[in-house]
């Protein structure tokens, strides 16, 4: 049971909530950065990235000081659940979600219907992650990830992401300079990190590419594929708000995001599936509540 009255959110988390882009400012390569890139080349070649892609990617990669500013200086913010919902499940986002669901219903249902996933849930994730495809991040992903690895910031994790990003370019899914994302490499309208892209991105229109930046068929197919692969149960609600003291079965969990005097939510296995996307009760509840409000149109 979550009894916290407020949540501690890093600047990365607040960026995800508000979807505000950060500008990517570059500086020329120095000798050490260039040597680092050359050392990376052999590893990338061994992983299957073609030489032409590496010539282009490593030849144009730049160390981005602003990436390290964000990585090393993430002030903490205290945010109540009520304030979080005001930002993430705003009336504007609800209304826009209803309009976009109507406009894209046939396309979303093409993927969501067979998987038994509600179209409003797909729409809610799309809305929270990228404000319905309008905020993708401003950083070139290869340069951002190379900066993190070069500066030894979670180097093993981000090195894996960097190699995966180079593979994605090598496979022709997106152009090098069109591969934009957050300072930490979350990409496209789904905000997948590169290894999540490799595991869950889907080709919705059959053109051989998985373009989660500009192709809505691929975006919706990828969101559905992620939820399906991590265990979404068709026909099961994510949960609902319940009166204080409500007893639930063994497969349910009561979540109290505002503490003992705040609202209580009985959540199901599908809520836990949403948490596989982002391990935050605030996030999971926002997805569920936004999807319910979009569906209520």
Name the strand (E) or helix (H) holding 215: none
Q: What is the mean pLDDT of the chain?
A: 90
Burial of 255 (0-12, 13-18, 19+ CB in 10 A): buried
pLDDT at 76 (0 to 100): 64
pLDDT at 78 (0 to 100): 76
DSSP code, position 201:
-
The number of domains in the chain is 1
Beta bridge partners of 9: 77
Cα Rg for the chain, rounded, in angstroms? 20
Q: Is pLDDT of 24 > 60?
A: no
Average pLDDT over residues 198-224: 98
Which tops the pLDDT comparison, 42 or 9? 42
Is residue 1 assigned to a domain? no
pLDDT digits (tens, 9 = 90+) for 51-75: 999 999 999 999 999 999 999 987 6
The CATH number given to whatever domain includes residue 274 is: 1.10.530.10
pLDDT digits (tens, 9 = 90+) for 77-132: 678 999 999 999 999 999 999 999 999 999 999 999 999 999 999 999 999 999 99
The pTM of this model reads 0.88
Average pLDDT over residues 1-30: 42
Per the structure, the complete domain to which residue 216 belongs is given by 6-295
Is residue 158 assigned to a domain? yes
Q: How confident is the model at residue 223 (pLDDT cuts 50, 70, 90)?
A: very high
Q: How confident is the model at residue 30 (pLDDT cuts 50, 70, 90)?
A: confident
Is residue 274 assigned to a domain? yes
CB atoms < 10 A from the CB of 237, how many? 15
Is residue 60 assigned to a domain? yes
Render 220-276 in DSSP notation, one character per residue. Answer: HHHHHHHHHHTT--TT---EEEE-TT----TT-EEE-TT-TTS-EEEE-HHHHHHHH
């Amino acid at each position: 049971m979550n009894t916290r009255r407020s949540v501690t959110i890093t600047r990365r988390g607040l960026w995800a909530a508000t979807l505000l882009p950060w500008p990517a400012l570059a500086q020329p390569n120095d000798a050490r950065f260039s040597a680092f890139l050359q050392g990376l080349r052999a590893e990338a070649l061994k992983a299957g990235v073609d030489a032409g892609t590496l010539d282009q990617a490593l030849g144009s990669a730049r160390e981005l000081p602003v990436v390290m500013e964000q990585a090393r200086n993430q002030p903490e913010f205290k945010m109540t659940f009520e304030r979080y919902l005001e930002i993430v499940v705003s009336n504007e986002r609800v209304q826009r979600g209803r309009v976009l669901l109507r406009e894209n219903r046939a396309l979303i249902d093409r993927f969501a219907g067979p998987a038994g996933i509600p179209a409003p849930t797909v729409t809610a994730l799309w809305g929270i992650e990228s404000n319905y495809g309008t905020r993708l991040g401003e950083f070139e992903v290869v340069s951002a990830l190379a900066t993190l690895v070069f500066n030894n910031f979670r180097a093993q994790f981000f090195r894996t992401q960097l190699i995966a990003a180079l593979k994605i370019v090598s496979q022709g899914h997106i152009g090098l300079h069109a591969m934009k994302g957050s300072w930490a490499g979350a990409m496209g309208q789904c905000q997948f990190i590169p290894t999540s892209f490799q595991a869950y991105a889907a080709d919705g229109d059959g053109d051989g590419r998985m373009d989660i930046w500009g192709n809505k068929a691929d975006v919706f197919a990828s969101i559905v594929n992620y939820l399906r692969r991590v265990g979404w149960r068709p026909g099961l609600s994510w949960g609902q708000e319940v009166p204080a003291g409500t007893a639930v079965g063994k497969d349910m969990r009561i979540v109290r995001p505002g503490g003992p005097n705040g609202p209580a939510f009985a959540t199901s296995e599908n809520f836990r599936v949403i948490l596989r996307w982002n391990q935050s009760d605030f996030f999971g509840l926002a997805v569920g509540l936004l999807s319910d409000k979009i569906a209520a149109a």
